[in-house]
Structure 1
Amino acid sequence: MIDPDDAYQTAATETVELANRLAADTPDNHPWDIADGLLAGAVHYWLYSRQPCGDPMCEDCSAFATADLRVAELKRLVEQLAQDSDYYHSPTDVNVGRA
């Protein structure tokens, strides 16, 4: 069995490698389109993985018991991951100070 931290890192690394491969193999496709497709697949899988077990009293599933709760958690997670990314701020952001 893979350690959860290793599984997380492996999945993240392989996603970036897949994006780079797709970009190299299809140079006519815009990187935004590739990224949007990867994000759509990741969201789809994440929502699939958070389906509640069916027991309305299950404490483990309570945070994901409704579609709205799942989407709220997904938004929170995406915001956290974005802010933790090396690419969150860009030197070309329009709100970057210029001296």
Structure 2
Amino acid sequence: TKAVDLGNKIADKDRDADLWDIADGLLAGALQYWLYSRQPCGDPRCQDCLPISTAEGRMAELKRLIEQLAAESEYFHTPTDSNAGRA
């Protein structure tokens, strides 16, 4: 995706850059955009906005989405995980 490409470009430009810092910055920006895009419309009866009509609701939806996207990622489990089986 474009976010991964952007992270790679940043890392390529500065070989001394910390990959975790780059990833944290990208995540912070994505999170801000996600929260901005999930502002309820203001109609208290809006069924589309009901799940995200409170800060707690938005956090629950965000956690659900994070778990789903992480589980779908090819990087979720890695051979170097401390709980990875060894043969």
- Specify if TM > 0.5: yes
- Give the Cα separation in 2 of the matches to 1:69 and 1:61: 10
| Structure 1 residue aligned with 2:74 | 86
Unpaired runs of 5+ in structure 2?
Answer: none
Identity, % of aligned positions = 63
The 3-state SS of whatever aligns with 2:85 is coil
Name the residue aligned to 1:67: 55
Shift of 1:14: 0.8
- Tell me, yes or no, if structure 1 residue 17 matches structure 2 residue 9: no
* Whole-angstrom CA distance in 1 between matches of 2:48 and 2:68: 22
Q: For structure 1, which runs of at least 5 residues remain unmatched after alignment?
A: 1-12
> Take 2:5 and 2:84, find their aligned partners in 1: how far apart are those partners?
30
TM-score after normalising by structure 1: 0.85
How big is the shift at 1:26? Answer: 1.6
Aligned position for 1:33: 21
Q: Which runs of 4+ in 1 moved over 3 A?
A: none
Aligned residues: 87
